Structure 1
Amino acid sequence: MFRGRATANHLAEAGWDVTVHTAPREFFETYLHDACDPSLEETVDPRVKVVRPRMTYYAWERDIRQFGKLRRNFPTVAGSLYKLFQDKVFPEHYLSWIPGVISEAVKAHFKDKFDVILATGNPFCSFAAARMLSKLLKIPYVVDYRDAWTFNQFTEQLKFKEDSKAFEWEEKVLRDASEVVFVNDGMRQWHIDRYPHAAERMTVVPNGWEPELLGDSPFTPPDPDRPLRFGYLGTVTSYLPLEDLFEGWRIARAHPLLRDAELNIHGHLGFFPNDRAPLMERLPLEENVGVRYHGAFGKAEAKAVYAETDALVFCVPGARYVTSGKIFEYMASGKPIVSAHRPDIAATEVLDGYPHWFRGEELNGEAVAKSFIAAAEAARGMDRTQHELAVKHAHSYTRAATLGPLEQRMRKLVEGRR
């Protein structure tokens, strides 16, 4: 969501006429309600045209009153047909979005021709739609992998069997794309190994942060008369190494600087409503160790959350292909960062050079505790010069800095066809 919004805004600011095709509002408000952030809509550049093609909600609908006649009367048959369609056509629940996108885009093209298509995934049906439109309209397309399509970037395991339609579609999409963009080099290398024919068109565009949303990060040392406040900001998922994180926190609280410290969790618990309960059980909220869950916050509120936090906790799944968009905002705050993840994840490439980054050589409670203690010492000893050095490193990763080269390549792609 953040990368897509930033990309559309950046292109509009650079002089492009941008039309975004996204899901119906009903999908976000009804089926993703707890994971929906309406505050972001106000930050979309007014020059960006937003189109919401219709889709169906078979995979998410639980209200029998909303079922179609076939599903109401013959649920087993309906389920079998749905599975068959997924297996034989396109294995993704968002498949029903494609016809509406094709229809809307073709009609718009014949009124005012598009020059290029930029598809972002997931959902990866957007990649399929981009390829279809490219064939129909004879225009190039670029695909942006925010996440991996056919393998799980958190577990490093394939998501599909080798004979799945997903691999067939991915091969076709990458074969015909003018450029294939990834968020880190680990992801790029995985796809080069799998699809070497597209290697020369594969590039990296790191995530970044938005100065227009976060503003400046003035130096404000922690109040010496109150306990330190550590904060995790972001979605809590089942893949996070929460047990190692909280074990390290318990150990670290024996240190004088952390004896009364707080560890505040800000963000959604999972992506869907059913994720919440099992994740809540993994938070030690009843142990009286200073861990508190504050719920989700809107993007517009992020600046205030950072301002009231003294040090930040970067806890992400352990895999070589994980960067996380949140780390860029963390660095922009200029505050100490505690790492609780495997030491070889892709995010370390971004953090390398950040002066207040504290991490262990392995992921376990003892290593995380040492990082908490080092971050606490840094927070109490931080001065203005140290803060400014940290923020300077973060400015290499503003959205303008990371998206600028992609915008220029897309411009050359269009100009080269004229």
Structure 2
Amino acid sequence: MPREVFEMSTGVDLTLEAQVDPSIEIVRVPFTSGAFANDLSDWSWLRAHAPEVWNTIQSVREQRAFPERNYGGWRPVLEEAARRIHLNAPVDLTIGTANPNVDFIPGYVLSTEFGVPAIMDHRDAWSVDIYSGRRVIEPSSRAGRWERTLVQDAAEVWFVNRPIRDWYAREYPEFADRLLVVENGYDRALTFPVRERGESPLVFGYIGTISGAIPLQELVAGWALARERSPLVRDARMDLYGYLDHLGVPGANMVQAMEHFADNDIRYLGPVGRGDIEATYASFDALVLTFGAGRFITGGKVYEYASTGLPIVSVHDPENETSSTLASYPGWHGASSMTTSAIADAIITTAIDAAAQTDKNRETARAYAERFSRAAQLTPRIEDWTSRLAPDLSEEKQ
């Protein structure tokens, strides 16, 4: 997808792009969608004067090729690109990461037309809402039929956690053996010096998208109560980094919560470039982990947070899968419920832990978190596919 699409919609991290290995060839596949045309001068008369009508017509057009709003029209271009790339340099294995789910099309094409094994890498689910657990695509619908076709054709289907994988296994029992859990993981261990706090107040930190699903008002209320109950928290500060929602526009719940930031020593400091991530983590004594409710949710930040070795306070529904992931992490303190009092208790416990943390405590936590590295998650799958596709090479490594 062209960089301009991300620049005009979700935003880009140029510091992360600069870290892409030079040996990786990036092929930009042309993409156009009215949803990402933010320049009003490019809008048609119909879109400007009758947006509801335009949206309906646009949705029908985009989903003719593939049943996915905003992205469905990309299918023909992706198919052509997949064939061209394979004919120029034969592909041994494809991995498509969703969403959008149309990203699975190149693998499907090369699998059905050329016999190339395809992996579906689900970072989210297509048929189930990860917040409510409700099915959002019916099996008999066009999208439902497409998902079954893709799962049936795939060599493997990866999911970020056990609850999502098990949900799909119940829906597709005949394909359960190819449904695997490959967690997000962190890219590399963060290396930064322990903050020399001395007598200075504690700093709690959050890094991540601040979406409308995050219980920001509950977090602020719990933090305010913790400040009333604990002198340690009363002297502390909370710094929040990240985009306000995915498009940079705060919702009403965010605005209401942010009205209480100044009174409670909370600062919103904007997004952090990947190149500045270590310096930002180095400014914290403890981390705040917060997500929307839902047992299917395991945010990617949980693994990176753990790699720091810092104490972590979880402010989310206890049934969130993150609770299981971090249950044995040294220094993790999850709110027992989403009540103001329970959140305050968890914050206070985390503050006590952060104030007393030693270098040894931190190294113990970092050692535990090594299981969450992306390499630890992917290595078994890489080794398995290497042995299948290049057995001679696999034997040489052994």
TM-score, normalised relative to structure 1: 0.87
1:144 deviation in Å?
A: 0.5
Paired residue for 1:57? Answer: 33
CA contact (8 A) 1:90 1:166 kept: yes
CA contact (8 A) 1:91 1:165 kept: no
* CA 1:78–1:266: 2 relative to 1, 3 Å: closer
Structure 1 unmatched runs, 5+: 1-22
1:92 deviation in Å?
A: 2.8
The 10-residue stretch of structure 1 (154-163 or 289-298) with the greater mean CA deviation from structure 2: 154-163
Paired residue for 2:394? Answer: none
Paired residue for 2:329? Answer: 354
Letter in 2 for 1:223: R
Is 1:30 the equivalent of 2:8? yes
Letter in 1 for 2:213: Y
The alignment partner of 2:220 has SS state of: helix
The 10-residue stretch of structure 1 (374-383 or 404-413) with the greater mean CA deviation from structure 2: 404-413
Paired residue for 2:351? Answer: 376
* CA 1:152–1:376: 2 relative to 1, 3 Å: same
1:187 to 164, 174, 183: 164
2 CA distance for matches of 1:210 and 1:132?
30
Letter in 2 for 1:320: R
The 10-residue stretch of structure 1 (65-74 or 257-266) with the greater mean CA deviation from structure 2: 65-74
2 CA distance for matches of 1:71 and 1:287?
41
* CA 1:141–1:68: 2 relative to 1, 3 Å: farther
2 CA distance for matches of 1:76 and 1:350?
43
Q: Over residues 235-278 of structure 1, what are the superposed CA-to-partner deviations in whole Å (9 max), with x where a residue is unaligned?
A: 11111122221111011012111112111111111111444676
1:133 deviation in Å?
A: 2.8
2:246 to 227, 249, 271: 271
Is 1:304 the equivalent of 2:286? no
Structure 2 unmatched runs, 5+: 392-398
Paired residue for 1:131? Answer: 108
CA contact (8 A) 1:244 1:365 kept: yes
The 10-residue stretch of structure 1 (187-196 or 150-159) with the greater mean CA deviation from structure 2: 150-159
Is 1:42 the equivalent of 2:26? no
1 CA distance for matches of 2:218 and 2:277?
26
1:361 deviation in Å?
A: 2.3
Paired residue for 2:308? Answer: 333
Paired residue for 2:185? Answer: 208
The count of corresponding residues between Structure 1 and Structure 2 is: 390
2 CA distance for matches of 1:285 and 1:57?
38
Q: Percent identity?
A: 32
2 CA distance for matches of 1:116 and 1:96?
25
Is 1:313 the equivalent of 2:288? yes
CA contact (8 A) 2:216 2:253 kept: no
1 CA distance for matches of 2:185 and 2:57?
42
CA contact (8 A) 1:285 1:292 kept: no
2 CA distance for matches of 1:92 and 1:76?
15
CA contact (8 A) 2:82 2:109 kept: no
1:261 to 236, 246, 252: 236
Is 1:244 the equivalent of 2:208? no
1:313 deviation in Å?
A: 0.4
Paired residue for 1:10? Answer: none
Letter in 2 for 1:368: I
Paired residue for 1:20? Answer: none
* CA 1:76–1:252: 2 relative to 1, 3 Å: closer
* CA 1:326–1:260: 2 relative to 1, 3 Å: same
Write the mapping of 1:20-169 to structure 2, written as runs, cut at 5 A.
Answer: 23-32=1-10, 35-67=11-43, 79-86=55-62, 89-161=66-138, 163-169=140-146
Paired residue for 1:8? Answer: none
Letter in 1 for 2:297: V
Paired residue for 2:258? Answer: 283
1:415 deviation in Å?
A: 4.2
CA contact (8 A) 1:318 1:341 kept: yes
Letter in 2 for 1:174: V
2 CA distance for matches of 1:206 and 1:314?
17
* CA 1:274–1:359: 2 relative to 1, 3 Å: closer
1:193 deviation in Å?
A: 1.1
Q: Over residues 362-415 of structure 1, what are the superposed CA-to-partner deviations in whole Å (9 max), with x where a residue is unaligned?
A: 221111111111111111111121111101011111121111012123223434
Paired residue for 1:363? Answer: 338
1 CA distance for matches of 2:160 and 2:356?
34
1:217 deviation in Å?
A: 4.5
Paired residue for 2:209? Answer: 235
The 10-residue stretch of structure 1 (343-352 or 250-259) with the greater mean CA deviation from structure 2: 343-352
Paired residue for 2:396? Answer: none
CA contact (8 A) 2:98 2:122 kept: yes
2 CA distance for matches of 1:272 and 1:76?
20
- What is the RMSD computed on CA atoms of the aligned residues? 2.4
Write the mapping of 1:378-417 to structure 2, written as runs, cut at 5 A.
Answer: 378-415=353-390
2 CA distance for matches of 1:49 and 1:69?
40
2 CA distance for matches of 1:109 and 1:87?
26
Q: Over residues 99-118 of structure 1, what are the superposed CA-to-partner deviations in whole Å (9 max), with x where a residue is unaligned?
A: 22222221121121001110
CA contact (8 A) 1:316 1:341 kept: yes
2 CA distance for matches of 1:264 and 1:368?
17
* CA 1:64–1:224: 2 relative to 1, 3 Å: closer
